[in-house]
């Protein structure tokens, strides 16, 4: 059975959203060290929060089957079962991101004290609302079509731009590279569990609303970084 026609059209629509192809993403290769530090520190605030957000999603979704890919997503955010069983946090996604920030010379303790830009704070607060306090289908719309399905497209110019900086090893950039195949897998699994609910217009509306609100918040995040860094 193929992808539900509504979800296919929605994904096509979201691929063209300004948040997915924001002009700021193509400026990464041109950023100096100070600008890269601002970008990395603000980005980290979202990365640090995301495992907790996925925990909120698992709580917010009552359907047992629909929870399964979301639980898998959370496990991946926490480094995978192999490391979790050892209580080893070295491969959580925030830890992988800190490989990148350390290469920039940002001390972990200072990174944790980063003050969010208003746009960063809005981005995270919007995700908190979508992931924890919204109707389940709106939540899954934000998680799947609005996040997992588009992150690989957004991360390609970031990864390519950072590589062109000639400052980072592939190990330093592992966080970004990891998300290209993994998030595509998450996207497919989430869309699969959404499909049975997509014949009803009211359900379609909730999923689309969740996805668009997530992307509008991310656009504001990129806007804020662009204004702060490229002013």
H or E stretch at 154? helix 151-164
CA distances from 32 to 29, 162, 163, 223 (A): 9, 11, 14, 18
Q: What are the residue ranges spanned by the domains of the chain?
A: 5-229
Cα radius of gyration rounded to whole Å, the chain? 17
This prediction's pTM: 0.94
The 10 Å Cβ neighbour count of residue 100 is: 22
pLDDT digits (tens, 9 = 90+) for 149-189: 999 999 999 999 999 999 999 999 999 998 888 778 889 99
Banded model confidence at residue 2, pLDDT cuts 50, 70, 90: low
What CATH superfamily classification does 5-229 receive? Heme oxygenase-like (1.20.910.10)
Banded model confidence at residue 53, pLDDT cuts 50, 70, 90: very high
Spatial distance between the Cα atoms of 159 and 168, rounded to a whole number of angstroms: 10
Flag whether pLDDT at 1 surpasses 60: no
The pLDDT assigned to 135 comes to 96
């Amino acid at each position: 059975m193929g992808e539900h026609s509504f979800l296919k059209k929605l994904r096509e629509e979201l691929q063209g959203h300004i948040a997915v192809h924001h002009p700021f993403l193509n400026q990464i290769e041109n950023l100096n060290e100070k600008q890269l530090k601002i970008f990395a520190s603000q980005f980290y605030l979202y990365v640090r929060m995301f495992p907790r957000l996925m925990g909120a999603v698992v709580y917010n979704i009552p359907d047992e089957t629909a929870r399964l890919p979301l639980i898998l997503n959370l496990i991946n955010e926490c480094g995978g079962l192999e490391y979790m069983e050892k209580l080893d946090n070295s491969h959580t996604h925030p830890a992988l991101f800190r490989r990148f920030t350390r290469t920039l010379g940002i001390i972990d303790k200072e990174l944790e004290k980063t003050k969010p830009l208003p746009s960063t704070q809005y981005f995270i607060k919007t995700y908190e609302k979508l992931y924890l306090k919204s109707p389940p289908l709106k939540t899954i719309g934000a998680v799947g079509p609005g996040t997992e399905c588009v992150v690989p497209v957004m991360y390609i110019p970031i990864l390519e731009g950072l590589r062109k900086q000639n400052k980072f090893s592939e190990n330093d950039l592992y966080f970004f590279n990891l998300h290209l195949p993994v998030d595509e897998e998450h996207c497919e699994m989430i869309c699969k569990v959404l499909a049975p609910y997509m014949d009803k217009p009211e359900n379609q509306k909730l999923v689309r609303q969740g996805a668009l609100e997530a992307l509008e918040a991310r656009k504001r995040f990129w806007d804020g970084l662009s204004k702060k860094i490229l002013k």
